[in-house]
Amino acid sequence: MFNKMQWPRWRSVISLFLAVMATCLVGCGRANVAQPTTYSAEQIAQLEIFAPRVTELRDRFPELEDYIQKKDWVDISSFIHGPMGELRVRLERVAARLLPQAAEQAKYYAEEIGTHLEKLDAAATDYNQIVAGKEYREALDDLDAFIALIPDEAV
C-alpha cells in the first residue's frame, strides 16, 4: 500500500526507469539505423583516392562520341583498348570500397559498361555507326549510374 510518505520515492524510481529507457532507445536506434548506411572517414579517404580515377575516364568518354560521329573506326578501337582499357579495373577498385548494397549495384553497372564497350568495339569493326552510337550511350548511362553510387564527399 502507498502512503504519502512513500510516493515521492516511487516517483523517483519511475523517472529513473524512464530515463534509462529513453537513453537506450536513442542509443540503440542510432546504432541500428545510421551505422550501416554511413561511410567511415577512412572509407571516404580511400574513395577519394580511387573515385577520381573513374571520373577522369568519364571526362574523356565523349572523345568516343567524336570518333563515332567521324566514323573514325580505328581510333574507337584504340581508345577502348588504350585509355579505356583501365576502366574496368578502376571501377572494380571503387566498387569494392562502397557499402554492401551500393557495391552490389556498382558491380552490376561495371559489368554492363564492359559489355557495352565490347559491343561498341565490335560495331567499330563492322563499321556500324548506329550500333556504335547506341552502345556508346548505354555505356555512358551505366557509367553515370555507377558514379552516382559514390558518396558525394569522395567525388
Residues that bind Zn ion in the complex, under the rule CB under 5 A: 112, 138, 142
Q: How many Å separate Cα 87 from the centre of its chain?
A: 15
Give 92 or 112: the residue with its C-beta nearer to Zn ion: 112
Give 48 or 141: the residue with its C-beta nearer to Zn ion: 141
CA separation for the pair 35, 102 (Å, rounded): 15
Give 121 or 142: the residue with its C-beta nearer to Zn ion: 142
Q: 81: which residues sit within 8 A by CB, 6+ positions away?
A: 121
Give 48 or 112: the residue with its C-beta nearer to Zn ion: 112
CA separation for the pair 76, 135 (Å, rounded): 12
Minimum CB–partner distance for residue 116 and Zn ion (Å): 6
Minimum CB–partner distance for residue 142 and Zn ion (Å): 4
Minimum CB–partner distance for residue 123 and Zn ion (Å): 15
CA separation for the pair 133, 68 (Å, rounded): 7
Phi, psi of 57 (to 5 degrees): -75, -30
Closest CA to 133 of 64, 81, 87, 83: 64
Minimum CB–partner distance for residue 134 and Zn ion (Å): 10
Residue nearest to Zn ion (CB): 112
